[in-house]
Amino acid sequence: MHAYANPTRFLKLARPLTPLLLVSGLLMVVASLAWGYFAAPPDRLMGETVRILFLHVPAAWLGMGGWTAIAIASLVELVWRHPLAALAARGAALPGMVFTAICLVTGSIWGRPTWGSWWVWDGRLTSMLVLLFLYFAYIGLTQAVDREGASSRIAAIFGLVGAINIPIINRSVVWWNSLHQPPSLTMGKSSIDPEFLWPLLGSTLGFSLLFGGIVLARMRTLLAQRQTEARLRRKAAAAEAVV
Amino acid sequence: MREGLDQMSFVVAAYAVTIIATLALAGWSWLAMRRAEAKRDEAKRK
């Protein structure tokens, strides 16, 4: 991992990997969503609305996965001071926020026909909404830190502290009474029928590949912006020295 | 299922939201990356 803390080495790996992840993710998402929409049967209890499963679950997984990535990158930044760790954390923030919002919106759309309500203030929904607000705060904080030239360690500490919400989201349906169903997929176990499980695994893998491609694209954007700024600053300093 | 709502319109709405948001995010991230890298290469050449 230390080897890839070097921007040149990172770019050598990221350049071919970014389009590869984006295209393979997109193809996998299209195939598995088409499978889920057209070929999966209606559920005995949820009817046709079960098809929302193939969007909602990957979005929830990536919303939480995005913050987990921020927390790991923040830890790496604080402990080993990797130059790319801060970029990795910032790169995961926007896609994590978008997938958290998709999870909340698709969950709300799913809730209306199945629960009879667009929204309930239970543990799972509320902790997921808190995650969205954490993303807003993190993105705002990183922008302020970059603008003011303050230490990025503040954002890294926020990224680590915010990770406390991830196990709360995960265990919320076990700890508190909820309209939301308990976990159907755990390590090595599934209570989902294979007719729904395979398109679900396909869409989760596809969205994860897309997420990886988007994170790499965001990291390359941030790296290029910093390199441009550094170059322009050096040129301005050299011009001043000549005058 | 309550109130006899048309389930498929909820499914279509969820798919539309997800597909539009994901494509917009991926497309915008790709274009922003290309723009930022072009700007850096231009600054290098100058």
What residues in B contact A46, CB-CB < 8 Å?
A: 1
**CB–CB of B17 and A56 under 8 A?**
no
Q: Which residue has the higher pLDDT, B30 or B46?
A: B30
Structure confidence at residue A185 (pLDDT): 65
B4 touches chain A (CB under 8 A): no
Q: Of A23, A2, A3, whose CA–CA distance to A216 is shortest?
A: A23
Name which of A55, A56, A225 is nearest B36 (Cβ-Cβ): A225
d(CA A221, CA A214): 10
d(CA A25, CA A23): 5
Q: Specify which residues A185 forms β-bridges with.
A: A190
CB-CB contact of A155 with A89 (8 Å):
yes
**CB–CB of A224 and B33 under 8 A?**
yes
pLDDT exceeds 60 at position B1: no
Kindly give the residue spans of alpha helices, DSSP state H, lying in chain A.
Answer: 7-34, 53-80, 85-115, 123-148, 153-162, 165-175, 194-242
| Optimal mutation site among A228, A229, A231, A232, interface B, most CBs of chain B within 10 A | A228
CA of A234: how far to CAs of A228, A240, B35, B41, in Å? Answer: 10, 10, 21, 15
A183 touches chain B (CB under 8 A): no
Q: What is the pLDDT of residues A90-107, one digit of tens each?
A: 999 999 999 999 999 999
- Mean pLDDT computed over A112-125: 90
Counting every residue written for chain B, the total comes to 46
Chain B: give the shortest CA distance to residue A148, in Å: 21
Q: Specify which residues A186 forms β-bridges with.
A: A189
Q: What is the pLDDT of residues B21-42, one digit of tens each?
A: 999 999 999 999 999 999 999 9
ipTM: 0.90
Structure confidence at residue B25 (pLDDT): 97
